[in-house]
Amino acid sequence: MAPVAYAHTMDKSTLFTDVPETAANIQDIMVLHSIGLLGYNGKDMALNPTDNLSRKDFAGWVGGFFGLEGATVDELAQAAQKEDYVSSLEGDITYKEINTALFHHKLELANPDATMTKEEYIAFLTEHLTFDMGGHTLIQMGGFAEGPTGTIEDVVTGDQTGIIIDGKTYMLSGHPRIFADSTDAKSWVGQQLERSIFTTAADHHHGHDGGQEESHGDHAEGHGDSHEHEASDSNEATLQYVQISTAQVVKEDAKEMESSNATPREEQQAVAADDTASNSNTVWMIAILAALAAIFVIVFVKRKK
């Protein structure tokens, strides 16, 4: 049983120390991290996304994902090697090795012997996360399933947090990943749940947070048994990943950004365009009034005759 490194809600600002919440692939990172296919290296909480992915790091993550025995990255990596998920813990992982470990050799690869950066690994797994391997997907192999979507009608708060969609309550796991503007559940009411991922109590042994306890300070301290405790508290499926829509906020922010980034020339052009439109309206009004006056004169002259 791999211990939990952090039994806390994690959002896009607290995931990795070197990944800003504005990163283009932040959602992909959070999804993979929530199911255990992306983790820390046992040294710090940095991702180092442009570094090549080592066999050792990949093996450690795979060991946690499949619930192998181990309490640290090293132990999980050794367990993964023992189970032949990797042939070695030296050097960098290749696409072919990932295809073997996670996809039963079923992916068609353009360059199977190439190594990859962690960013490329994230993109590769995200692209194939729901690839059908003859009746099951990678996300299902880890004991997960896509969860509900829709408008959040209400929330449950207290010892556990839950969201209500279409009259049904879905509880969050003890340490979910939250992609939202706020981790305050009450602020989600009325917003759209764009994506969610279930994990079942029976699959909590997969050690999604395993192998990180030894060096993460307050994140690790005192939470070694909480994963087991959560599994024993409930037999219901819980939400491990929650993605709340921020489309309207993004749209408004973009408008504000566009306005704030306008150059003096662009502002002058905008003012000139407004003036042109105003002048055009004035010309039309004068023309209409002149036409009405002409009609009035003609009618008056005819009546006088």
- As a whole number of Å, the end-to-end CA separation of the chain is 109
Mean pLDDT in residue range 198-218: 48
User: Given this model, what pLDDT does residue 227 score?
Assistant: 33
Angle 236-242-247 (CA atoms, 0-180°, nearest 5)? 150
How far from 89 is each of 75, 125, 210, 213, CA to CA, in Å?
11, 20, 18, 21
Q: What is the pLDDT of residues 274-298, one digit of tens each?
A: 565 566 677 777 878 887 777 777 7
Distance (Å, rounded) from C-alpha 97 to C-alpha 95? 5
User: Given this model, what pLDDT does residue 203 score?
Assistant: 46
**In 10 A of CB 112, how many CB atoms?**
15
Distance (Å, rounded) from C-alpha 240 to C-alpha 200? 9
Kindly indicate the confidence band of residue 236, based on its pLDDT and cuts at 50, 70 and 90. Answer: confident
> Who wins on pLDDT, 291 or 197?
197
Q: What is the pLDDT of residues 24-81, one digit of tens each?
A: 999 999 999 999 999 987 778 899 999 999 999 999 999 999 999 998 989 999 999 9
Burial of 71 (0-12, 13-18, 19+ CB in 10 A): middle
The token pair that represents 187 in the structure block: 């602020």
Instruction: Give one DSSP letter per residue of the chain, joined into a string.
Output: -PPPS--S-EETTSS-TTS-TT-TTHHHHHHHHHHTSS---SS-S---TTSBPBHHHHHHHHHHHTT-S-SSHHHHHHHHHHTTS-S-SSSB-BHHHHHHHHHTT-S--SSTT-B-BHHHHHHHHHHHTT--SSS--HHHHTTEEE---EE--EEE-SSS-EEEETTEEEEEEEEEEEESS-S-GGGGTTSEEEEEEEE-GGGGGG-TTTT-GGG-GGGTTT-TTHHHHHHHH--S-EEEEEEE--HHHHHHHHHHHHHHT--HHHHHHHHHHHHHHHHHHHHHHHHHHHHHHHHHHHHHHHHH-
Q: What is the pLDDT of residues 29-45, one digit of tens each?
A: 999 999 999 998 777 88
Residue of 1, 14, 72, 7 lying closest to 222 (CA atoms):
7
Mean pLDDT in residue range 184-189: 94
Q: Indicate if the pLDDT at residue 249 is higher than 50.
A: no
For the ranges 7-21, 134-148, 251-265, the lowest mean pLDDT is seen at: 251-265
Residue of 55, 53, 60, 24 lying closest to 118 (CA atoms):
53
User: Given this model, what pLDDT does residue 269 score?
Assistant: 61
Distance (Å, rounded) from C-alpha 127 to C-alpha 17? 25
Kindly indicate the confidence band of residue 213, based on its pLDDT and cuts at 50, 70 and 90. Answer: very low
Residue of 133, 77, 64 lying closest to 102 (CA atoms):
133
Distance (Å, rounded) from C-alpha 271 to C-alpha 6? 54
